[in-house]
Amino acid sequence: MASGAIRRFQDRVLGPSRTGIPSTTSEIWLLGVCYKISEGESSEDADAAGCVLDAFRQDFSSLILVTYRRGFEPIGDTTYTSDVGWGCMLRSGQMLFAQALLFQRLGRSWRKKESEPPEEEYLEILELFGDSEASAFSIHNLILAGESYGLAAGSWVGPYAVCRSWESLARKKREETEVKGRSCSMAVHIVSGSEDGERGGAPILCIEDVTKTCLEYSEGETEWTSVLLLVPLVLGLDKVNPRYIPSLIATFSFPQSLGILGGKPGASTYIVGVQEDKGFYLDPHDVQQVVTVNKETQDVDTSSYHCNTLRYVPLESLDPSLALGFYCRDKDDFDDFCIRATKLAGDSNGAPLFTVTQSHRGGERGIAETSAVASSTEISGEEHEDDWQLL
């Protein structure tokens, strides 16, 4: 399918592309960084606002974009040499995971500089997401790791299956580290409502479980490692229940924020920022030819891995099936995240995205009793779990 046809299809699903910045006065949050726009009318205020918007655009364009590709080697035993029309959720997941690696290795303040040769670490990250089995986090290897969760070439899957597949792939690549060198240097932990992720109710982040995940990932060498937290959610029936939107917006203010995997049914995007009730996103639906990137080729063109076009979508129009991502660099960063998440759940007026507890003492009742925000799941004594669906 031609790229233009894909774009027309995407416009029908997500609605006509909304580009630019919705408001020139409201603050913008982009993966934990706030861009405050001056509301004054003087020339100085206008200049200051222009500088802030320029900084925002540079930050946005430095995020890693992963899109449909064509011309890659066949996936497994299939004849698929392109993921056009079905791979958008997988590409969205690649973007979130790539962003976590970028934050880990180069820091949140890193920006792509057109006038300078690319950093070796940056090229190494892009190489991990190449379109072949030789690249650790290629669509080929993600599908292979996620077969038990329904991933298959030519098939569209939801956020929960993709999150579990990333957990499986990261574990597999960690086991190969001794032989093939560093590829994944962070643990992946899925936050869900139960062990199988198939019960209703707000997911529960258990601190003891995350500690165990980190300990197992490091093979007992250290109690804590960098960790990527993935939180698959279903926040309504046909669309996101409006009660959850303030909390979704607030998560972008977390320094650990990695955004949202979400979009419309069958059309996933990677939402990286918010302004008022609009979400800025990177769109995987553009079709591009395969490009080979490696650290030995300093003059390689990496422009296809970045986007200068600001697109946004009303958050109320999102499909209720989505996933949140958070990257915690160390134990202190994780503790800070837990404090923020607990406060957010407590301020949610009975509609928490997820809750935080220290342990599973006493089974499910123990979770409710030890959670600092368990009581927030009730409104006037009446539980409100009707909008939570099976993942």
Residue 291, pLDDT > 60, answer: yes
From residue 307, how far is each of 27, 102, 113 by CA, in Å?
21, 16, 14
pLDDT band at 212 (very low <50, low <70, confident <90, very high): very high
Helix, coil or strand: residue 41 = coil
Active-site residues, by number, are 88, 283, 285
Decide: 48 and 38 in contact? Cβ < 8 Å: yes
Residue 385, pLDDT > 50, answer: no
Decide: 139 and 66 in contact? Cβ < 8 Å: no
Q: How big, in percent rounded to 5, are the helix, strand and coil portions of the chain?
A: 40, 20, 45
From residue 159, how far is each of 50, 151, 231, 329, 330 by CA, in Å?
37, 11, 9, 23, 26
Q: What percent of the chain has pLDDT over 90?
A: 66
Give the separation between CA 72 and CA 287, rounded to whole angstroms.
12
Query: 10 Å Cβ neighbour count for 104?
Result: 17
139-186 residue pLDDT tens: 999 999 999 999 999 999 999 999 999 999 998 888 876 544 455 689
More confident residue, 327 or 47: 327
Give the separation between CA 210 and CA 151, rounded to whole angstroms.
25
Least confidently predicted of 19-23, 284-288, 322-326, 334-338: 19-23
pLDDT at 109: 96
Give the separation between CA 110 and CA 129, rounded to whole angstroms.
19
pTM for the whole structure: 0.87
